[in-house]
Amino acid sequence: MITRCRPLLGTLVEISVPDEAVAAIAPAFDAIAHIHARMSFHEPASDLARLRAALPGHSVAVGRETVAVLRMALALHRATKGLFDVTIGRQLVSSGFLPRDSVEHLGRFRGTSADIAIVDDTHVRIGRRVLIDLGGIAKGHAVDRAIEVLMENGVPMGLVNAGGDLRAFGDRDWQVQLRDADDVVRLAVPARNCAIASSANLLNRRRHRGAIHGPHVGLGRQPVLVDERITVVAEWCIIADAMTKVAMVDPILAGQILDAYKGYVLPNAPVAATMAKAV
């Protein structure tokens, strides 16, 4: 296997393929770079920048992939009764987890995911103004896209890891080490034809106006602070990525939704993460 690594999506992205398939790595990274350009909160030319400038009632042109990710985000927002919400940008800017520059009048972004309407495959309209952050879902989508590109290029097996959100395919087991919330690796699981995503915030907290905040926000826009790693296995990485945030707050609800997507919350005991039984 050959592994390459690039800084994208605010993290370090690794792509591993067999030696003879090394030429497929560059187009897979290109697909991720495209997603980075469209869906990064920090990129001034991104679709997210257009959406935060968007005025209520106006249709905004965005990329197809952005619409695809928003469709999934909105479906998860409904399925989780508002728990999974990509409009938490306001809270994350306020608590210092996202940069304040390029965001004017933070208080005006009062909308939730319920204010986002998909017009067609390349247009979105908002009700109230929203500050969208796709940090909880775009990495998963990027991993899925990169895997598709590898497959389209005839690569027989591979692994894409976007800073902890990963997906493996092909006829082999991949050892995946799980880094616990305290930064220590205690458990490794063999993964085969599945996606694995983990979230934790024990070591990523800051104080803002007398309260402790983390990068995860739950119902009522309250910070979600958990001291443990949450790991989700699913067929697609977009689901695994997004559902870690739901499982942090409500593991039972997360389990119910994951049932429909051939996934589950990984128990904290050694098991094999595999989709073989589900496929």
Partner 1 sequence: MKRRVYHTALLAALAAPSAVHATVYMSAEQAQAVMFTGEVLRPDFRQLTNDQVSAIRKASGEAPLRHDLKAWRASGGGWFIVDEVVGKHEFITFALALDASGAVKSVEILDYREAYGSQVRDPRWRAQFTGKRAGQSLQLGRDVRNISGATLSSKHVTDGVRRLLATYAIVLAHAG
- Which residues form the interface with partner 1 (CB under 8 A)? 1-8, 10-12, 14, 16, 26, 139, 159, 161, 163-166, 168, 174-181, 183, 185, 191, 196-204, 229, 231
Torsion of CA 263, 172, 65, 197, to 10 degrees: 50
The answer to whether 205 and 213 have CB atoms below 8 angstroms apart is yes
Q: Which of helix, strand or coil describes residue 165?
A: strand
Token reading at 179: 């880094």
Rounded to the nearest whole angstrom, what is the least distance from the CB of residue 11 to partner 1 in the complex? 5
Rounded to the nearest whole angstrom, what is the least distance from the CB of residue 214 to partner 1 in the complex? 10
Which residue lies nearer to partner 1 by CB, 72 or 162? Answer: 162
Exposure class string for 17-40: b at 16+ Cβ within 10 A, else e:
beeebeebbeebbebbeebbebbb
The answer to whether 199 and 230 have CB atoms below 8 angstroms apart is yes
The answer to whether 150 and 197 have CB atoms below 8 angstroms apart is no
Which residue lies nearer to partner 1 by CB, 183 or 259? Answer: 183
Which residues make Cβ contacts (< 8 Å) with residue 195, sequence separation at least 6?
140, 143, 144, 165, 166, 167, 168, 233, 234, 235, 236, 237, 239, 240, 241, 263
Rounded to the nearest whole angstrom, what is the least distance from the CB of residue 225 to partner 1 in the complex? 13
Helix runs in the chain, H state only: 25-39, 47-53, 64-79, 89-94, 138-152, 237-249, 251-260
Which residue lies nearer to partner 1 by CB, 10 or 251? Answer: 10
Q: Which of helix, strand or coil describes residue 85?
A: coil
Which residue lies nearer to partner 1 by CB, 115 or 180? Answer: 180
Which residue lies nearer to partner 1 by CB, 119 or 271? Answer: 271
Rounded to the nearest whole angstrom, what is the least distance from the CB of residue 63 to partner 1 in the complex? 21
Rounded to the nearest whole angstrom, what is the least distance from the CB of residue 8 to partner 1 in the complex? 8
Rounded to the nearest whole angstrom, what is the least distance from the CB of residue 228 to partner 1 in the complex? 11
Which residue lies nearer to partner 1 by CB, 26 or 211? Answer: 26
